[in-house]
Amino acid sequence: MSSLLSLEHISKSFPGVKALTDISLRLEEGEIHALLGENGAGKSTLMKILCGIHNPDTGTITINGEQMHFYNYHNAIDAGVGIIFQEFSLIPYLNAFENIFLGRELTNRFGMLDRASMRKKAEALFQRLSVDIDLTVPVHHLSVAEQQFVEIAKALSLDARILVLDEPTATLTPNEADHLFRIMRELKSQGVGMIFISHHMEEIYEVCDRITVLRDGCKVGECAVQTTDVDDLVELMVGRKIENNFPPKVTHADGHEVVIDVRSIQLTKDAPVNSFQLQKGEILGFAGLVGSGRTELAMGLLGATPVYRKEVVVNGRPETLKSPADALNCGIGLLPESRKTEGLVLPFSIRENITLNNLAKHCGKGFIIDRRDEGQVVDELMRKVRVKAPDHETPVGNLSGGNQQKVVIARWLNHECKVLIFDEPTRGIDVGAKHEIYRLMRALTALGISIIMISSELPEVVGVSDRVAVFRQGRIVKTLAGDAVNSNEIMRHATGGARDE
């Protein structure tokens, strides 16, 4: 392999923050190089420098032996660098080939759009990726995985020889992620070099060749994948050993108080009828394959989506729960899967996000908000859930994923919710922040708060849940407790390999 990219002694500061200090990274032709680190370690800043979005204070970028100076994103594209951001940059109402050639459309000799040529070139790109996509429909009709492949095709159409993939599997199913890895291996065989950012260690070992680890803006390690184990990587990333990623569980005695008794819930006329109970101070996991109906049932319980029928008792009282407002009035809060689009207002401050739906609590006489009381309450909640930020006026969009999740939790604590539904609580969160979220969840249950946790990560379900409701094809087929909460039992019932009672 010959050297494709070399970043040498890169440093970058922002007002009051030293983001990167003397970072060097080398990428070879046909190599998949993992870039690891906690949120805030400097990964995104380094990649934005590579892509011309930020200029380094010091350091050099060399591609194929030639030193480069990127003043903007277009300079990086011209040099063969493509980046697939975690947040897609597609125009939802344009189709795939319109997105691929956006801003550089092909025209015929009369100056008219040559849609046939653009489509033909797009078909060749997807054929190279071994992907079959409907090129005629707006991309918002495509699956998340298909949109991901459109982004990759867009980068390849620019003759990118260096690809940066930032958390590309965050919203993919296991099968879709496997397809993406096949595409990455094919591109690798064609000499494309890739920098792969992921918080999933199993993915690093499956698809990557070498690893660079950042911590607090500094490079703390570089190693070959086959010579490094997970524990060593985690210690490099967080600066300490995490002996047990999951806090100890609490033994619940028989006859524990039931806070929610879902006696029956049927989402549609032809759907299965389900029932379950949530006990005080427990974490009830919702497990199952993607598409098994876990989130749909939770949304139906909250009243966020209509259901065919529902009989629910909350704290001994029958409740209709026709809307999320009804659920909130009953002390039930939701931490949605997409915290950035559904759980937070990113330009708002931490204070504004925490008190957003409960401002009346902080109003004095004349319906005027008591800012001093509001600030004191928010500061106390930030300490309680350990939000790391300069102060409560910091915009939430500036926080790491783990701290954003903590802000959502603080909001529901401010509303004095006694039941919290966590939908994919650690998606897009680094390993150290995951440990913090698990610790916080267990601390909440110690206060008598009950949690329903929906997760696609089997180790997380096993390590965090006190009991697990296993879903298959929209039905709760088994509820596991005690020693039965293990990977084998969950998968046997989730896949239909066990005889369900």
Nearest to 209 by CA among 224, 193, 219, 191: 224
How would you class 341 by CB atoms within 10 Å of its CB: exposed for 0-12, middle for 13-18, buried for 19 or more?
exposed
Average pLDDT, the chain: 88
Phi, psi of 12 (to 5 degrees): -155, 130
Residue 345: CB atoms within 10 A of its CB come to 13
Residue 286's DSSP bridge partners are 454, 469
Whether the predicted pLDDT of 466 surpasses 90 = yes
pLDDT given for residue 469 in this prediction:
97
Total length of the chain? 501
CA distances from 319 to 242, 263, 271, 297 (A): 43, 11, 22, 16
CA torsion angle 463 468 471 474 (round to 10): -130
The tokens of 43 are what?
Answer: 């990964």
The residue assigned the tokens 């594209």 is: 77
pLDDT band at 250 (very low <50, low <70, confident <90, very high): confident
pLDDT digits (tens, 9 = 90+) for 341-369: 788 999 999 999 999 888 888 887 667 88
pLDDT given for residue 500 in this prediction:
54
pLDDT given for residue 3 in this prediction:
83
pLDDT given for residue 453 in this prediction:
96
**DSSP letter assigned to residue 257:** P
pLDDT band at 7 (very low <50, low <70, confident <90, very high): very high
pLDDT given for residue 236 in this prediction:
82
pLDDT band at 237 (very low <50, low <70, confident <90, very high): confident
pLDDT digits (tens, 9 = 90+) for 98-142: 999 988 889 988 889 999 999 999 999 888 888 888 998 999 888
Lowest mean pLDDT among 232-241, 352-361, 443-452: 232-241
Cα–Cα distance for residue pair 440/418, rounded to 1 Å: 14
Whether the predicted pLDDT of 462 surpasses 70 = yes
The distance from CA 490 to its chain's CA centroid, rounded to whole angstroms, is 23
Our CA angle for 363, 343, 471, nearest 5°, is 130
pLDDT band at 255 (very low <50, low <70, confident <90, very high): low
Cα–Cα distance for residue pair 491/309, rounded to 1 Å: 29
Angle between helices 401-414 and 431-446 in degrees, nearest 10: 20
Bridging pattern class, strands 210-215 and 32-36: parallel
Cα–Cα distance for residue pair 101/83, rounded to 1 Å: 16
pLDDT digits (tens, 9 = 90+) for 186-212: 889 999 999 999 877 888 999 999 999
Domain 247-331+420-429+450-501 falls under CATH 3.40.50.300: yes
pLDDT digits (tens, 9 = 90+) for 270-316: 999 999 999 999 999 999 877 789 999 999 999 999 999 999 999 99
Cα–Cα distance for residue pair 72/61, rounded to 1 Å: 14
Residue 484: CB atoms within 10 A of its CB come to 14
Nearest to 138 by CA among 90, 88, 83: 90
The full DSSP string for 39-58 is TTSSHHHHHHHHTTSS--SE
Cα–Cα distance for residue pair 4/67, rounded to 1 Å: 12
Cα–Cα distance for residue pair 76/51, rounded to 1 Å: 5
Residue 317's DSSP bridge partners are 314
pLDDT given for residue 369 in this prediction:
84
The residue extents of the domains of the chain are 247-331+420-429+450-501
Q: What is the pTM of this model?
A: 0.66
The residue assigned the tokens 């065919």 is: 308
Contact 60, 239 (CB under 8 A): no
Nearest to 19 by CA among 36, 42, 35: 42
